Each structure stands twice: as C-alpha cells, then as structure tokens.
Amino acid sequence: MGVLQRLVGAARRLTAEPGDWEAAQERASVRQTGTTPITQVAHRQRCRVSGLIRSAVIGAPGQGHGFEIDLYDGSGSLKVVWLGQRDIPGLTAGRRVIIEGLATVGRDGRCTVMNPRYRLIPLGKKP
C-alpha cells in the first residue's frame, strides 16, 4: 500500500463519525473470523455470525423467553435467545462472541437465533 493511500485512509478515519468507525471495526472482525455478516443471514437457514454484544437481558416473566442478547456486527444486529436460562456467564455487554444456529426472521423483519451454540472471543484479542 502506497504512502498516499495510507494518508487518505487515515484522513477518512479521522473525519468519520464515531459510529461509522466502530461499524467498520466490527465488519473487519467479521472478515477475520470468517463468519457471515448479519445482513446476509436468511430465514430458516443455519448461520455462523460474530459480533459485539450490545445488551444482555433476562426476558420478562410470562413471555416464555429466557436470556437474550443483542448482537451487532457493523452490518446489522440480531436477537439471540436461550430459553429457560436466567444468565450465561461471560455473555455480557461489550463482549465479542461467535454464534452458530438456525436463524428465523419474524414478522417485524428482525432476525432471531434461538438456543445457539456460542464461543466467546477472548478479551483483548483479535478474533
């Protein structure tokens, strides 16, 4: 890569909105892990996605849900639910994780993966 290309890239990073820069970092992480971008996940298809946990909550009583996270990869986000779980150690906001399971898309257009396999990405390490 030439000096001019590096300078142009640095200038873009300095002038980008914070959200744009973070999204680009997450998309780069997806490429490093070899996972599928969330926006490419299809209804009723097995998927392997990775990203940053933006929130982790316990579902409201009576809704039938257990532990739920919102996973973001720079291209989009999806909901991940483990039925019957109140907490899963290590799955906290700000942590990176790889999820494998069957995706469904609800009437609202939101993608959800129920009871998937997961692997935590070690803290402070690139995937």
Pick 69 or 25 by higher pLDDT.
69
Identity of the residue numbered 81: V
Record the pTM.
Answer: 0.76
Instruction: Please check whether residue 30 lies inside any domain of the structure.
Output: yes
Could you tell me if 52 and 94 are in contact, meaning their C-beta atoms sit under 8 angstroms apart? yes
Instruction: Please check whether residue 98 lies inside any domain of the structure.
Output: yes
Q: How many domains does the chain have?
A: 1
pLDDT at 43: 92
Instruction: Please check whether residue 93 lies inside any domain of the structure.
Output: yes
Residue 53 belongs to what domain range? 3-120
Query: What is the mean pLDDT of the segment spanning 2-14?
Result: 61
Q: If pLDDT is split at 50, 70 and 90, which confidence band does 13 have?
A: low
Distance in angstroms (rounded) separating the CA atoms of residues 73 and 82: 20
Distance in angstroms (rounded) separating the CA atoms of residues 113 and 69: 10
Identity of the residue numbered 4: L
CATH number of the domain at 75, please: 2.40.50.140
